[in-house]
Amino acid sequence: MAGLLVLSAVPLVADLFGTPYAVTLVTRLVIYGIAAVSLDLVLGYGAMISFGHAMFFGLGGYVVAIVAHHTLEAGPLFGWSGSMQAVLVWPLALACCGLLGAVVGALALRTRGVQFIMITLAFGQMVYFVLVSLQVYGGDDGLMMTQRNVLPGIDLAQPNSFYYMCLGLLALWTFVCTRIVGSRFGMVLQALRQSERRTINLGVAPAPYRLAAFVLSAMGTGLAGILWANYAGLVTPDDMAAWSKSGELMAIVILGGVGTLLGPIGGAASLSGTGTIAVRLDRALDDRDGPDSCARGAGAPGWPVRPHAGSATCRLRCPSCWSCAACANHSAQ
């Protein structure tokens, strides 16, 4: 509860100190927290070491981005004109993640140990290469999502509103997972983790419990992918579905504490904080080159600069100082 109160105060503190980028940074933390809690459900309580959960993260993001692409730009998809309504598109994306989770889980759960790890990794790489092969949706360059989904009563285009929505979903999903773990279903799952043979001797069939947990975890990770697509405005195979993303999620869970649910949220905070410190150190090193280093960076090849709504919502950041390209620190515009 204390952590939730601290996270709830982030936008207020950011406005007080004039650091709106802090809301964007913590939004990233919250989204990764949802994915980490989902992975911890199977890793920490089901002893299922999945090295392919990035496939669900990527699939959730790609579904909403593809639907948005056809709604705004490309025209109908299989006769459907698409929709930007979150209440319609997000359940569709979650259903796709749940279906993929059921297929992968049904096959992977026939194995144990290293074989389970390798099968989930193999399926993850299959999804990755499928996304890379979708040239109509950008291939390995990814697909832009130029507009966020629409949620009745909430303006998701506003960073603070989007942050509170993500935080609410994190709190709700963590509560749901806590209830699941404390239920009879969760107790059976933990019993299977401790001693599968004894649990089977008590008359429990392990496969349905493990498969159900795997599907729930896949849908939770898919939810994080949905939010990431709306947050970043861009989905790419490398950033969302590569094996390294699965490893990153696993590292977050291990860093925060396996089998704790709340621990992975702290792990996400630690990892994001480490990234921020690295960016700050990089900026400090660049400052030694003079005050115009950012302006030179803005004019470098591959550095996109275009008009936009403002620094609070800009997704194009300077590689030297991570500031908005339209701020007063840059002379190139």
- Statement: residue 164 has pLDDT above 90: yes
What does the pLDDT read at residue 271? 80
pLDDT above 90 covers a percentage of the chain that reads 61
Mean pLDDT over 185-199 rounds to: 93
User: Residue 3: its pLDDT value, please?
Assistant: 78
What pLDDT does residue 287 have?
55
Instruction: Tell me the pLDDT tens digit for each residue of 200-230.
Output: 998 999 999 999 999 999 999 999 999 999 9
Mean pLDDT, residues 247-272 taken together: 90
The answer to whether position 304 is within a domain reads: no
Q: Quote the distance between the C-alpha of residue 317 and its chain's center.
A: 20
- Scanning 183-205, the segments in alpha helix (DSSP H) are 184-194, 196-201
d(CA 276, CA 25): 8
Among candidate residues 281, 319, 286, 328, the one with its CA nearest the CA of residue 300: 319
Domain membership flag for residue 320: no
Euclidean distance between CA atoms 331 and 308, whole angstroms: 16
Q: What contacts 120, CB < 8 A, 6 or more positions away?
A: 49, 50, 51, 52, 53, 104, 108
- Whether 318 maps to a domain, the answer reads no
User: Alpha helices, DSSP H only, in 134-260?
Assistant: 159-182, 184-194, 196-201, 206-232, 237-240, 243-256
Residues spanned by the domain of 151: 2-262
* pTM, 2 dp: 0.83
Tell me, yes or no, whether 84 lies in a domain. Answer: yes
Whether 230 is covered by a domain: the verdict is: yes
Whether 333 maps to a domain, the answer reads no
296-317: pLDDT as tens digits:
444 444 444 444 444 444 444 4
What single DSSP character describes residue 44?
A: T
State residue 105's pLDDT score.
Answer: 95
Position 30 in a domain: yes
Domain count along the chain: 1
Q: Is residue 50 part of a domain?
A: yes
Residues 240-263, mean pLDDT to the nearest whole number: 92
Question: Which DSSP state fits 150?
Answer: B
